[in-house]
Amino acid sequence: MHAPAPTAAPKISARHVSVHYGRKQAIDDVSIDVDMENVTAFIGPSGCGKSTFLRTLNRMNDTIPTARVAGDIRLDGEDIYAADMDVVQLRARVGMVFQKPNPFPKSIYENVAYGPRIHGLAANKAELDHIVERSLTRAGLWGEVKDRLSDSGTALSGGQQQRLCIARAIAVDPEVILMDEPCSALDPIATAKIEELVHELRGKYAIVIVTHNMQQAARVSQRTAFFHLGTLVEYGVTSQIFTNPRQERTKDYITGRYG
């Protein structure tokens, strides 16, 4: 029904995805393509299933016992729900940043080194140091923390914690980064920094960002998907969605008719 937005070779392509929590259906027949070049935003009223759908893309729904996912989701053409798919590998390729910053109660250094360590990405300390520095630099945090890498990650400010979580995700060199309302717990200045960061990361990673803030979607994304009541109502180029939506429901939402 809703043709996925036109892209080159899609990084992720989802077809007819439905998700149930027990009996309750949270996502109904969603098809969407995500590509490398663009930042994709998921918008929609709270409870419409944005997080649920996002979590199907790195199989985080596997951690919820009641969740059942149906449909076909491919990463570079490979079925991520195939029986022989290694979830550990998948999550190394598809990183995730959460709504509330959740650094581990470890040092800043150890937070970033966590992924490389479990995936065995560094052969020695020097390599690990290098990965940590590169990741923190990319996340725009290196300058602020380089002199206190051994301080606890939880002692940073909220915005810094969220950038630390982004650095942590980057450290395993993922192909896709999923962000679930990464700014909803942050003040406007910290939010602006994260948005700037998303701009800089664009092109290096395929980025999907969930947001309930429409201005934010307009600022950071090139593709926007509007979800409502578990369905994908409209998916297209961001500027078109915000200026000239095809669907009545999208228009109502954009103009604030319901929230």
Q: CA 136: distance to chain centroid? A: 18
Choosing from 38, 40, 51, 224, the residue that interacts with ligand ADP (CB under 6 A) is: 51
What residues contact 209, with CB distance under 8 A and at least 6 apart?
39, 40, 41, 42, 179, 182, 198, 217, 220, 221
Binding mask 47-86 for another protein (x = CB under 8 A): -----------x-x--x-x---------------------
Minimum CB distance to another protein, residue 153 (Å)? 11
Q: Pick the closer one to Mg ion by CB: 103 or 182.
A: 182
- When asked if residue 51 is in the footprint of Mg ion (CB under 5 A), the reply is yes
Q: CA 206: distance to chain centroid? A: 9
Minimum CB distance to another protein, residue 114 (Å)? 6
Backbone angles phi and psi of 141, in degrees to 5: -115, -15
Site for ligand ADP in 13-42 (CB under 6 A): 21, 24, 26
Q: Pick the closer one to another protein by CB: 73 or 214.
A: 73
- When asked if residue 88 is in the footprint of another protein (CB under 8 A), the reply is yes
- Name which of ligand ADP, another protein, Mg ion, none residue 66 binds, using a CB cut-off of 5 to 8 Å depending on partner kind: ligand ADP
Site for another protein in 127-186 (CB under 8 A): 154, 165, 168-169, 172
Instruction: Give the up-direction half-sphere exposure of residue 183: CA atoms within 13 A in the CB hemisphere.
Output: 22
Angle at 91 between CA 90 and CA 93, to 5 degrees: 65
Counts for the chain of helices (H) and strands (E), in that order: 10, 10
- Name which of Mg ion, ligand ADP, another protein, none residue 26 binds, using a CB cut-off of 5 to 8 Å depending on partner kind: ligand ADP
- When asked if residue 59 is in the footprint of ligand ADP (CB under 6 A), the reply is no
Q: Pick the closer one to ligand ADP by CB: 122 or 229.
A: 229
Q: Pick the closer one to another protein by CB: 209 or 232.
A: 209
Minimum CB distance to another protein, residue 128 (Å)? 15
Choosing from 8, 9, 64, 70, the residue that interacts with ligand ADP (CB under 6 A) is: 64
Tokens standing for residue 132: 């940590």
Helix (H/G/I), strand (E/B), else coil: 5? coil
Distances (CA, A) of 106 to 76, 93, 142, 222: 34, 23, 17, 36
Minimum CB distance to ligand ADP, residue 25 (Å)? 9
Q: How do 231-237 and 78-79 pair as beta strands?
A: unpaired
If binding means CB under 8 A, how many residues of this protein chain bind another protein?
A: 28
CA distance 253 to 85: 38
CA distance 53 to 29: 11
172-183 in b/e form (b: 16+ CB < 10 A) is: bbbbbbbbbbbb
Q: Which residues bind Mg ion (CB under 5 A)?
A: 51
